[in-house]
Amino acid sequence: MRTFKGWNGNLIVKSGFRMHNNYIPEFKMLIYKEHIDHGDTQFKVYARTYRFYNNICMMQITDADVDDKSGRIDSSHTEELESLKEEIMADYLDSDALENTHTLITNGNNYSFNIPESDIIHGYESWESASEYIDVLFTGNVIPYNIHPKGFYNSGGESTEQLKVLKAILMLHNLTIISVPEGTIKLFNKADFNNNLIAIEKTDIIDFKRKRVNRDIPETSTLDCLLGDLTLLKSIILDSYSNFLSQIWKLTATIDNLEKYNISLFDRIQIEDKQYKVTEIQRDTGNDEYKVKAWEI
């Protein structure tokens, strides 16, 4: 609002959402104000466009920015003034459907924006009463349905390694990829575990250590391959992992007899009265034993 200080006309605000390319939420705002002085009228236009890649990663589309003012026009030329104003607004907004669309619902997410009437300032005298910041609100699932890596729209320009994008997807959804002895690659949710429960007899426990720990917090730089401002997404992901990884009991054990127990990653094992989810496993055929790391369930 401050960019219009000293301009004495009424403030006109046109804003709203639409879907860019059918699946990317886009928000546009245009602010217009006139200044009348000694029988001449001059107008000023300020407009910005933002797209929300990966559901919540904002990116300002700077080549669509408008920050301009007209020359002085005789105030009696009302038709010319109105024509210039409408031309600028039409070029920027592209679609009448965009105007005053303060809510957009897509993929279970709700984007909303509204300027209180008290902030639509009328005349120079009341400009100080306007809010300095007005939030665009987002509710819904922060985890994106569609991943937009950097360079996604560039033809022959910046590109992103597919493996980096895959790692970002794994982090966003708390997933991991493992290979089983038969050579099959499987995708697992780290929060899940197999229904398979294997009871380990106490006489088969060669070594047993149980310790209270915090799991390592993942490095969010993995997400840097994605498009848009990642600050908020990283913060939410870290909060989620902090809860998931908060204090646990970690088991390190050596279990005898490979033939007796068929233990796989993410199986549940029971030792005495406690159950654990297997997170790492090695088979030592020479010593006929498993080396297992697990988290207490």
3-class secondary structure per residue, 200-255: ECHHHEEEEEEEEECCCCCCHHHHHHECCCCHHHHHHHHHHHHHHCCCEEEEEEEE
CB–CB of 188/176 below 8 Å?
A: yes
| Distance, CA of 201 to CA of 179 (rounded, Å) | 27
Among 123, 139, 155, the domain-final residue is 139
CB–CB of 180/186 below 8 Å?
A: yes
Q: Are residues 195 and 291 in the same domain?
A: yes
Q: Extract the residue ranges of the chain whose pLDDT is less than 70.
A: 1-2, 95-97, 99-100, 120-132, 152-158
| Distance, CA of 55 to CA of 145 (rounded, Å) | 8
Within a domain: 155: no
Among 95, 123, 139, the domain-final residue is 139
Within a domain: 150: no
Q: Are residues 129 and 179 in the same domain?
A: no
Q: Are residues 134 and 54 in the same domain?
A: yes
Burial of 177 (0-12, 13-18, 19+ CB in 10 A): exposed
Per-residue pLDDT at 258: 92
Q: Are residues 125 and 185 in the same domain?
A: no
Q: Are residues 173 and 70 in the same domain?
A: no
| Distance, CA of 125 to CA of 96 (rounded, Å) | 31
Within a domain: 36: yes
Among candidate residues 191, 204, 193, the one with its CA nearest the CA of residue 272: 204
Domain count, the chain: 2
Per-residue pLDDT at 208: 92
Among 139, 173, 208, the domain-final residue is 139
Helix then strand then coil, % of the chain, to nearest 5:
25, 40, 35
Domain around 50:
2-139
pTM: 0.76
Q: Are residues 170 and 124 in the same domain?
A: no
Burial of 136 (0-12, 13-18, 19+ CB in 10 A): middle
Within a domain: 151: no
| Distance, CA of 1 to CA of 129 (rounded, Å) | 10
Q: Are residues 172 and 292 in the same domain?
A: yes
Per-residue pLDDT at 275: 92
Q: Are residues 115 and 173 in the same domain?
A: no
CB–CB of 33/44 below 8 Å?
A: yes
Within a domain: 199: yes
Q: Are residues 6 and 133 in the same domain?
A: yes
